Amino acid sequence: MDLKKAVVLVTGGSAGIGRAVAESLGTAGALVAITGRNKERLAETARAIGAHPIRADVTSEADVQRTFREVMEKFGDLDVLVNNAGIGIFKPLTAFSLEEFDRVLATNVRGPMLMAREAARIFITRNRGNIVNISSTAGLRGAPNFTAYSGSKFALRGMTECWRGELRKYNIRVLLVNPSEVITGFAAGAGLAQKDHPSKLRGEEIGHVVKTALEMDDRGFIPELSVFATNPVD
C-alpha cells in the first residue's frame, strides 16, 4: 500500500513500540492518530511526532467506539489499525490474584478484539484495510512467571488467525508482529529488570518492520513475522 495520506490508528501510541510505529508511519506520509491513557504523555508525543491524540482506554467499549468516531470525524477514513496497547504482570502462578490476571487479559485480549471489531466494520464496507497486531515472542513459547502475559499473547495470535480467515475475502490484510526483547519503558513499568545495550532491539526496528510490511503491494501480505536482535548482549 501507499502510506502517503493513509489514515493510521495506533493504540498505545504515546510511548515505546507504539510511538516508534506511529512515528515511522507518519514519516512515510501517513496521517496518524494515537491513543493512550496518560493525558500529558499522549499530548507530548502527539506534538513531537505530528499525530492526532485520542485519550482512550482500549478495555472500555465506550472509549473504543468514541475513538473510531473521532478518527472518522477528523480524517473521514481509516486504512490501518495497529493494535499495540498492552501491559504485563509477571509473577509465579501461585502468587497471581484474579484481579491481576483479568487486568492483563482485558488490555491484551479484550482491547485488541474491541478495536479490531470496530475497524473491521469500517474496512468491510470499503472492501480494503489493514490490521496489525503487535504481539511478542512470548506468544510463541511460555516461560516461568509469564502466565498472564504469554497467555494473552497466545490468545492474540489465535484471534489474528481467526480474523485473517474471516476478513481476507474483503481484501483486509491481518498481520502479526512478534518482537523479542525491546528496550522501552515496558519492562520497568512491569517491574522487570532490563539492561540496555547497543546490541538489543529498539522500538525503531519494530516501526521499520511494520512500515515495510504495510508497503507491500496490496495483492500480497506477510501473515506473521518475528523480530530478534542479531546478537543481544546482557
Could you give the residue numbers annotated as active site? Answer: 149
Q: How many CB atoms lie within 10 A of CB 116?
A: 23
Q: Distances from the Cα of 208 to the Cαs of 16, 26, 203, 214, in angstroms? A: 14, 12, 9, 10
Amino acid at 120: A
CA gap 158, 161 in Å, rounded: 5
Q: Distances from the Cα of 215 to the Cαs of 3, 219, 222, in angstroms? A: 7, 11, 11
CA gap 137, 176 in Å, rounded: 11
